[in-house]
Structure 1
């Protein structure tokens, strides 16, 4: 049944606070994350992570006001009739805004699944001033995409599709919705008519943060990273981009939506960076009508610009951690959100220069944790700037891939990248359990994996530690999907205890400081592994140090992990329900 929320004047008890251009001198951290033009293209709207929207008069590049409308904005789009829709990740809702000459007015809202992070507008379903349309909402931790219908200033919830991964970017193509994995290397194809999952397929990369379809050639263009499990975290492999590369891949969109197609046929790739002059963390993507592609490079504070036929793309310096990018009305300039500078850059794609940088207001002094956050996304901590901490641990989580580094004191046995979410008080670290403190693990990662040219300072290590300590475990999947059955969880908890799982996964953190032989051996003969915490385990995949288990169910059904006697169907269902509640 559709849930319909009619026009409202307030959302979640937060009233709008208007700041004039002069009032924006107040010190704050806005953290711009998404951009959209007004329907008449005279105003630029900047959605900020602090829940405000900044309005910039485009003709004179002047900030005119800031509206505090929500809690934590993640995306903003302009609908075809000029209405503006913004996603509030923390509040789990969408706000509908009217685009006025003197600013934005909130006219409606709708509650959606938790953690909406991306909005994709479908084709028009009507005509006239109040076009009806469907917006597809990617909800991160529920691993869900849902329809939101818009008509006559009313938003209503439609159908939902659950996915095997956490979705982020999506794009419509030929009756399908192509959805990118928010952390790992998967693409999902949803049939928009039936709104069912057609199939999911592996993509040759991770951190799929920019994705579009070219209107003339039907190319799916994806900005992403690639972690090579066959490379070692030695200076040579890092220097030549063998361990981690940053790429712009061009594929036939028709090949993506078919299950029997060769993904690579007629495809090609632009490397984003070279040995000695690398880039890191492609974060956003835009395409001009003349065919120029623009990629934001979040880890190095640059954008890359070129056309499909170019051998390589040219780069322009912008602000710190550029994320979203959109094309200006003149089709020559692009606008870039500089998340860590509280500014937007205007870049001339023909002259290849930054022509303007517009401040969104004064920034207050960063706390130690916030300094650590900036460092976490900073590729200058790695040799040649090929990677940041975020490259393997997207937003603190995991890309689910394997990396061959010295955390187990050897090369030749790549291990799955561990999530950092909920890491506090879970020492020791790494699969071997040989790193006793988080400070030592941070230093090892920077010097031995990222191959930094300089030793990290004590202040940098402290800031990163405080930031990592702020990571909470991801919310349980059954809680996010409202599927939790308390009685079943309690039965699973009893099985977890009676079958001895608590010996290694000790409450309340569901790990322990010891390493254990659990019947597995890696390529170098190592048999003892430190158990990762099970908090948030339902939000990970695949499993074990070598990714041998594709799903949580496979851990017990296929691999019979630490089971003297097999679980019957009822026991397995109950145990899985308990694990999905953590």
Structure 2
């Protein structure tokens, strides 16, 4: 009996040790404290409930867990990369666009609907909203400045950066303390504490602004060859600035050879000397280098988020072809592996592991540069074979579009070859098929990279608009994978440039790239009004401009369905007060009395006709369909070829279609009316 008692004591002791060990491994949360005053518990939703999430941003918490901001569902997903489990999904509302970790388990969430929120993750079942603050229309990114006491928010449609004071010692509640106006729509930001500066990049075209974080003045606004700037990063010494972007050659037509050799559009990372950016008189390209991410038939359409990891390597996601790319600190030894569909953000978890948010495949990809050795017997009972699972995982996550009439062999488009599949996991959850790729950096021995997909939850069946969205953002629609529809029509808007697209039946007459916001409401299509249906216009663009095999009729119909979901641009400058409203009304009466409504009429401010506008293009054309004037103030040039550099120049310099010369007060009222559209 004494022996049995001793054995029982040993069993209890061992059990206590096991419990203690589990407790030590359990994530440390800032839990069990009273909720702060005014905090709002966030509803928990089930990842098993089918929904479109659209993860667009990532943040890593102090305990190694990952949070995704899901723009479509208005939720945050909490993911454990070790167990590959979605621990929880919290509903925050709105349209989350960016995440920034501001304390161990507190996140700042920028919301495109105009809000900045602070969300605290208490544990795997609880999260609270600490506060929310109205900042501005189209809040798309958030950055930390002054040691985290202040946050800066890019407000896309207000063309400003809002500075928010979140220092609890200085004020009881967060507040907007500055609004810094910019001459472009801002998106990406990068704080430079060593230089008391904040860099802000153009969301669509080619500007970078330098804001002084001491007095909030705009030190400089630079332009350099670029558009779709989606990543900003510096080296550890803050001597070089790296910018992921595209470059469009406005006079290069879409000949197949000009596409596959990057003459029309090229994709990569621009390395700039930071002191040239910080200098108001500096020339950004004085000591610059372009690092291409693709070549020949292995294009790299739509480079997106960019980071420099702790070892100095450059990591970037290539959204248009669903790849993760890694370069050494000099920008050489390029490695590329496939991830999910439209990867748009990434974080470094440690020196060998990265996490990637795949917007259109509703997943995270974990990248392991030092994968564990293969365990051949580690396969779940009744599971698919490694080869089948590998193919299934890749096709479901980053597979080819069903809408293309012809697609290239994907294996030829990667700098990585599938070498094996492995199954890892614990007995508590389902196994996931992982893909290991044998990567060959140029001139280097093969290395293996493990890619682990983690779905964020159940999804509903794809609609026509969902399929069209996938096609719109897919660079494999173009010859050699060099560009997507998004490359020119950024997020459905415009990159602000000219392009020679063969859209008017020939070459040599580049036209301004039109916004597609509200495009389904403005027939006919093409500058010369030659396309009576949007489906015809989509098919013509895919065949003539992208030269990649074209779209099936169903594929073109799907893209048109997606375009129909794009709302018109918001007003450039909404009415501020009663005096401003009177000025706008006067401008509207003038617009009507001058006969402008003959071409620009109704709610869409356009018409079905084609008119001789007295402006000749390089091919002798003078007859054009009038573009809608909704959001006309956001344009980066006016008329078909941007010959009018300002909206004022349309009336002062060109006196466009005016029956008489206008007075200064009339021009002011007319401009104010147009800016209100």
Bucket of the pairwise TM-score, normalised by the shorter protein: over 0.9
Consecutive unaligned residues of structure 2, counting only runs of 5 or more, are 1-35, 371-446
1:488 aligned residue: 583
- Residue 482 to residue 216, structure 1, CA distance change in 2 (3 Å): farther
For the Cα contact (< 8 Å) 2:234–2:308, is it kept in 1? no
Partner SS state of residue 274, structure 1: coil
2:544 aligned residue: 448
Cα shift at 1:60: 3.0
- Residue 118 to residue 310, structure 1, CA distance change in 2 (3 Å): closer
Cα shift at 1:475: 0.4
Cα shift at 1:479: 2.0
- Residue 440 to residue 196, structure 1, CA distance change in 2 (3 Å): same
Cα shift at 1:565: 2.5
For the Cα contact (< 8 Å) 2:58–2:66, is it kept in 1? yes
* RMSD over aligned Cα atoms: 1.9
For the Cα contact (< 8 Å) 2:145–2:191, is it kept in 1? yes
Cα shift at 1:566: 2.4
Which of the residues 516, 521, 533 maps onto 1:425? Answer: 521
Which of the residues 348, 356, 364 maps onto 1:327? Answer: 348
Which of the residues 203, 226, 231 maps onto 2:252? Answer: 231
Cα shift at 1:227: 1.0
- Residue 277 to residue 135, structure 1, CA distance change in 2 (3 Å): same
Partner Cα distance (2:157, 2:218) in 1: 18
For the Cα contact (< 8 Å) 2:57–2:68, is it kept in 1? yes
1:127 aligned residue: none
2:360 aligned residue: 340
Cα shift at 1:61: 3.2
Partner Cα distance (1:451, 1:386) in 2: 11
Which of the residues 421, 439, 460 maps onto 2:555? Answer: 460
For the Cα contact (< 8 Å) 1:94–1:112, is it kept in 2? yes
Which of the residues 209, 217, 220 maps onto 1:199? Answer: 220
Of the structure 1 ranges 81-90 and 432-441, higher mean CA displacement relative to structure 2 is found in 81-90
For the Cα contact (< 8 Å) 1:270–1:312, is it kept in 2? no
Residue 567 (1) aligns with residue 662 (2): yes
Q: How does 1:147-186 map to 2 (within 5 A)?
A: 147-152=163-168, 154-173=173-192, 174-186=195-207
2:444 aligned residue: none
Of the structure 1 ranges 354-363 and 492-501, higher mean CA displacement relative to structure 2 is found in 354-363
Q: How does 1:185-334 map to 2 (within 5 A)?
A: 185-311=206-332, 313-328=334-349, 330-334=350-354
For the Cα contact (< 8 Å) 2:167–2:174, is it kept in 1? yes
Of the structure 1 ranges 564-573 and 303-312, higher mean CA displacement relative to structure 2 is found in 303-312
Cα shift at 1:445: 0.6
For the Cα contact (< 8 Å) 1:431–1:530, is it kept in 2? yes
Partner SS state of residue 574, structure 2: helix
Consecutive unaligned residues of structure 1, counting only runs of 5 or more, are 1-5, 125-131
Partner SS state of residue 576, structure 1: helix
Partner Cα distance (1:363, 1:335) in 2: 21
Residue 18 (1) aligns with residue 38 (2): no
1:499 aligned residue: 594
Partner Cα distance (1:210, 1:524) in 2: 38
Partner Cα distance (2:599, 2:205) in 1: 27
1:541 aligned residue: 636
- Residue 285 to residue 37, structure 1, CA distance change in 2 (3 Å): same
Cα shift at 1:425: 3.1
Q: How many residues align structurally? A: 559
Q: Deviations over 1:10-44 (max 9, x none)?
A: 4xxxx62214xxx4222111111111112x23321
Greater Rg over alpha carbons, structure: 2
- Residue 558 to residue 190, structure 1, CA distance change in 2 (3 Å): farther
Residue 408 (1) aligns with residue 504 (2): yes
Q: How does 1:355-370 map to 2 (within 5 A)?
A: 355-370=451-466
Q: Deviations over 1:431-477 (max 9, x none)?
A: 22222221111011100000122x31111111111111221211012
1:140 aligned residue: 156
* TM-score, length of structure 1 as denominator length: 0.92
Partner Cα distance (2:483, 2:578) in 1: 38
2:413 aligned residue: none
Cα shift at 1:423: 1.0
2:442 aligned residue: none
Partner Cα distance (2:557, 2:577) in 1: 38
Which of the residues 51, 61, 64 maps onto 1:28? Answer: 51
Partner Cα distance (2:355, 2:548) in 1: 32
